[in-house]
A and B are shown apart, each in its own frame.
Chain A
């Protein structure tokens, strides 16, 4: 369609494809929810409310559990875990589980996804459909990207910005243009499989928190040139 009146975002709107779910993990130790996920190179971490559960993606076995408040997105900067708890982001030592520092969230608790990239934290503000780049020390907002869907999880991989969305029964993984928020690619999750938290393993997989299912799902990442 060549409707010149179409707004740029809509014109750029990619055709959705079905997400390919490779594997499902969990639920973990009776936890009813997964609010956030991250990957530290070895383990996948799932935020289940009162416990951060680290599991081995090869075996699916939980290998480490930290007692800490974890209500939404989780991130890993190479050394420390960052975890949204109520209306703050806790910096956590993965070895001891100790909270080393805390900064307030920009959404005052309406925040969902969290990831680390290029020295910044990137944070999804769920119903406000926003992604903020924030300073990990002060919590100051450096930049804001607007999406047109609820943002539940964010991750960067190979210079691509992906976010999870979940509105009612409909969930997708979306690659967006970090400059203007235009949707470049869409992976549709099956009906009822919500996405609460998103993290790339740096290679071919995304890990998606499954909300009230208590599961973590591994979804294949499409590569440029092949689909």
Chain B
């Protein structure tokens, strides 16, 4: 009996440990997680302790000391350039390891090995897009260059030095919660991170979506719905600029118009209309500032997440002293300034990703028809590891165009029916963007900036520059394919070379501005150049922010950094300014009920600013949405699912210009509708939703827009929800629901640099740290931190809270 009792008790104990140590019974291994000496409690960082340490690594060349200030910004002082980058890698890992690990797993299509087969579709999509192929191509170029290889090696060694120091208890929180361990860093992963940014910033093609619309509408309607040239454009390089004769004369295939598209409809599950991924940057020359020295400003608009994409840092070596925002996952300072100049980026937004329809000889995909003969494909076998399941093998065919992304075995988010499409993406080509950033960090003058810029191939960016000697400049930089008009707007035939890209626009033909007479340069993702530019640029660029930036800068003088901060937080809606009068003029008020009249009054008295507490902004946004639906839904009711919806600017320009715009009439009714009918109908529809919002107290713009910053896992406990912030699409303060100014920076290039910056997050990626999200509330308020450029004389300054010493050993 005693033995039975013992055995029962012992088995119960073992079962208890098993239950608390695995996810087999409970959703989480509670014992393992809550054990105070190794579990998540160990991630509750002691905020009073600091991070001081003495570390030794055999790969170091000399000595480096890192001083952390009261915001946990590291100021790296190294006696050589290579060690500085080692330490940068170490610090990125120390504070952001989990995110950089996950982001590169994602880039490489390796998420399934962590989360199981729910990520298999993502992994296949990324492999088939050729992300690893692209990263390998770039890495070859990076490693062929001694200087880049040294830096890249040092960065990798730094990251791994931290990874190798981890114990079970010091493992970042997310690894403990998700139950896996970090994988070693490599130079390839740095290249993958850069390709991830290319994916984010140079994938905005809508080829299939536009093709679906093209197949459905007659050509007159199509051209009205998706005009190639948009009005109201205030291009980055101003109208009146003269361009040289193009050195590449593109030749459109003779039959481009007739055989471009075969009749078959290509449908998509996913629609991505009205996407506006973008940023603002500008520099004003000393002639317009109070100090007489230039001021440079940049706020890149990207997906807002926690931990933040950015990590702030100062790097000082005998050859340079740079401060700014860095990408955990890549060496160097990305957006920032040094003792001579400042630099920043906005996305170029041109279409550098095209699709070609491939005719395989048979199902084996071994041969495809090209230039009147059968060409042999090469195969790349992608092995995808899946947590808890056998490996998945995906065989991807590679053609002269690139990988066959979509075929019978894979349609991704797109239903490409029985067709095969190869993808040609500029990011597949080898390039070494590390040199761009490294040389910008060291740049002393305009010549250095131009030289550094030529290393940027993809994703193409508008690089703004300002220097203490008074120079300002902006280059619409990138290695862009020279396209014939319309090339790549739709998937193209892949059976001969005539539809291929015919060359890259030479760097010598990159449009730029250097010390222009108007005293400023600016970009906000609008069309880069005026219509006399000799190469094709695609159909749509967002123009409103650019109009507003230039309007404000034109009207300003005696500018101070304070003025620039206010401008980055400007909530004036220039899109509404243009459209609102049309709506008000055409409203048939006699048809409005009492409550509808109330909302119309809100619209009438709205100051056209999307402030956090504005009700007019909400009324306008919902009315616009309804108006778009009212005007176009009848025409699109039978269109293929996924057909691109017209851009908002197309609707606006049509309403401003053309009172008999073809699509105003509701084709589902016998009557002939006018703009007034449509506006009033749309507004009445909008009022239904507005009344619901009123009931739930969500009429104020910030409550309706509901900006939130999610942790990368989307766990609400680690996210910041319902932020009371204004702004939005078409507005300089482009803060949308999950997207917006990810780093705001203002740099006054006075002899003693005066710089301000903030990002919606914090330096420590650990949700258990007070530095995890400490910047968010200030960011919401439009406030900035003063960026402290520390010098070696400041080591006893009371802002220094701790220091890490790195030595060879």
A and B: bona fide binding partners: no
B residues with a Cβ closer than 8 A to A are none
Using CB atoms and an 8 Å cutoff, list the residues of chain A in contact with chain B.
Answer: none
